[in-house]
Amino acid sequence: MQKSLSVYDSDGSTFAPLVVIELVSETKEEAIAWLLNRVRDKQQDGGAELLVEQLTPGAQGTEKDNPNVYVVGASWQRLLYGAEDVGLFKEFKDGSMRGFTYANKHNFKEFQGDGDGFLSMAECQYIIKHGLDNLRAKDEAHVPGYPKMKLYPGKSVIRRMQSKGILVQVFPLHEKEELKRLSFSWFKKIKLSFQPLDDIRHYFGEGMALYFGFLEYFTLALIPMALIGIPYYLFDWEDYDKFTVFAGFNLVWCTVILELWKRLSASLAYGWGTLSRKKAFEEPRPGFHGVLGVNPVTGRAEPLYSNAKRQLRIYLLSVPFVLLCLYLSLYVMMIYFDMEGWALMIHDEEPTFWTGLLLFIPSIIYAVVIEIMNLIYRYAAEFLTGWENHRLESTFQNHLVLKVLVFNFFNCFASLFYIAFVMQDMVLLRQSLATLLITSQILNQIMEAFLPYWLQRRRNKKAHKRMIKTMEDKELPLSEQVKLEADMSTYLGTFDDYLELFLLFGYVSLFSCVYPLAAVLVVLNNVTEVYSDAFKMCKVFKRPFSEPAANIGVWQLAFEAMSVIAVVTNCALIGMSPQVKSYFPESETQLILWVVGFEHFLLASKFILTFVIPDVPKHIQIKLSRLEFESLEALKKRKMLEASGIPKTAK
């Protein structure tokens, strides 16, 4: 980490500002003083033992600026202890990854001198966030000055202030020099190369790096498919019955790439030290509310909410709501088919150029409507999942992902399934697939990168000018930088990015055999996606806190579910191809039985493959077992020493 910026702390010594806390401008003095004291207090007194100072407004500061902006840093000592506390894994002298401990610090590979530079800035910021999040109320009944802002022993102070709205935001600062280097190697270089995943992880953390790793892996995995697809598309344009081989290829492809990704992701996570990291005990999420009671696990006072009530809310409201939305989506789909038929009728009556154009209108409208419905549903799903009042952030996320996934899948693919299996019209399927894919890609690129960028430009033209200046002027004062970054949009996590990949994976794995160009389109989309995502992370959004992650989590499951559906779909498409049908000229029943048998065989093989291929590569498995064995041995040795010592006195 470079100490390019520094502020003076109360002792007069300087510290590097890492994290910014912004309170609303009218916050009461006593609340601020109390919070700052708690942040500065020693850890054994229940404080966070961090350094915090009010940001002194720079030369360009105006009256309008919020004065309640604070920068937080920490001593190296505190950061190193914090690294042990959050359970950071670092490379040991012998090349293995081990949990960092302060006592053992000199045995870690990159630890030199007093350890300056041992932790990346993102790690330091994560440690500070952990310290702030774990700042808990002691005996305070409420936040000083705010009698309504109730506290109870053990409640996270920062979370309560955030949920009650006096804490506007807590965000980590960008590091201009490093960001510049990262931007250059990531998306400013013209040369074709892999993404600098280690640098991304260094700057943005493991969760983000895994997303970009998966995006790159997915793109590379698509290339063979695209290469096979192009000649298919060029030479067999009107020959719809040659897709059996392609469907077979699809089947194998989508199983194999997901299994290999698991292994690759384990390798990455091992190298980044998150693979064997233990999860800390999860605290209730900020939005969780309930009657104050005693948590049966921790024995601490905490709001409790009956699980039965939550289940009732889920099954009596959320599930019917989702089903209703699915029905609505089906209804819209039917309207689309009516429109399609109506356009076709007009075109057939009097074919002109304009009616020819009219033929494309329903598909485009439908694609736009799908995107809008997905967007609206997303808000409804978030609201509903919040209302279900889940205790943990992880359960909340799982329920949200499930809701959104089911609807988006249905919304995007229902019409294609209808065309493929009810209408059995391969020409229309190909046409719809192409329209849906291209329209949704264009819409996505606009919504995702250009819209936020443009909105921000509009919202804060002045700030933008400053930002441009930032790029050139390294000597921008801290107060200016903080103000600039505070105004940037907040990155809401990788959810939408993964969702987009999930739908693209669906288009490719489910139906690409009828439209071999799909893989090519997705590859092109992904390449621009890398650039636009990289751009938005570096230029559009506030720096996010790094999120330690060992895998892509629930998304692995979602992609695997999709690959199972792909097996079923591709088998059905194979069964419907005239090529295969010609083998069973007499009996359709025979054909169906064979296809169903083949499909069951494939599903069983897929299941067995998942068991047979180990999720973690052998060499990493050995390293992990070695660590485990060593800790077992150490425990045994310790016990043996105790045992040989105590009996003599006990006897």
Return residues touching a copy of itself (CB under 8 A): 42-44, 77, 81, 84-85, 102-103, 280-281, 296-299, 307, 568, 588-589, 592-593, 596, 600, 618, 622, 625-626, 628-629, 632, 636, 639-640, 642-644, 646-647, 650-651
Q: Which is nearer to a copy of itself, 85 or 236 (CB)?
A: 85
Which residue in 1, 166, 179, 141 sits closest to 70, CA to CA? 166
Both tokens assigned to 178: 């490093």
Minimum Å distance from CB 263 to a copy of itself?
16
* CB hemisphere CA count around 591 (13 angstroms): 18
Q: Which is nearer to a copy of itself, 412 or 576 (CB)?
A: 576
Whether 558 and 494 have beta carbons less than 8 Å apart is answered as: no
Q: Work out the angle at residue 285's Cα, subtended by the Cα atoms of residues 279 and 288, and round it to the nearest 5 degrees.
A: 145
Q: Which is nearer to a copy of itself, 165 or 299 (CB)?
A: 299
Minimum Å distance from CB 650 to a copy of itself?
7
Minimum Å distance from CB 584 to a copy of itself?
12
Whether 141 and 151 have beta carbons less than 8 Å apart is answered as: yes
- In the three-class reduction of DSSP (H, G, I as helix; E, B as strand; rest coil), residue 343 is classed as helix
Minimum Å distance from CB 614 to a copy of itself?
11
Minimum Å distance from CB 195 to a copy of itself?
32
Whether 317 and 386 have beta carbons less than 8 Å apart is answered as: no
Q: Which residues pair with 567 in a beta bridge?
A: none
> Sign (positive/negative) of CA torsion 457, 461, 467, 471?
positive
Q: Which is nearer to a copy of itself, 84 or 236 (CB)?
A: 84
Helices (H) and strands (E) in the chain, counts: 23, 12
Q: Which is nearer to a copy of itself, 465 or 638 (CB)?
A: 638
- Is 288 buried (19+), middle (13-18) or exposed (0-12) by CB count in 10 A? buried
Q: Which is nearer to a copy of itself, 108 or 218 (CB)?
A: 108
Residues 566, 574: Cα–Cα separation, whole Å: 12
Minimum Å distance from CB 228 to a copy of itself?
29
C-alpha pair distances (Å), 105 with each of 100, 113, 315, 631: 7, 10, 52, 17
Q: Which residues contact 59 (CB under 8 A, 6 or more apart)?
A: 477
Minimum Å distance from CB 629 to a copy of itself?
5
Minimum Å distance from CB 44 to a copy of itself?
5
Q: Which is nearer to a copy of itself, 147 or 647 (CB)?
A: 647
Minimum Å distance from CB 284 to a copy of itself?
14
Minimum Å distance from CB 249 to a copy of itself?
23
Both tokens assigned to 262: 């698991």
Q: Which is nearer to a copy of itself, 458 or 618 (CB)?
A: 618
Q: Which is nearer to a copy of itself, 417 or 535 (CB)?
A: 417
Mapping DSSP onto H, E and C, the string for 446-504 reads HHHHHHHHHHHHHHCHHHHHHHHHHHHCCCCCHHHHHHHHHHCECCCCCHHHHHHHHHH
- In the three-class reduction of DSSP (H, G, I as helix; E, B as strand; rest coil), residue 585 is classed as coil
Q: Which is nearer to a copy of itself, 66 or 610 (CB)?
A: 610
CA-based diameter of the chain, in Å? Answer: 107
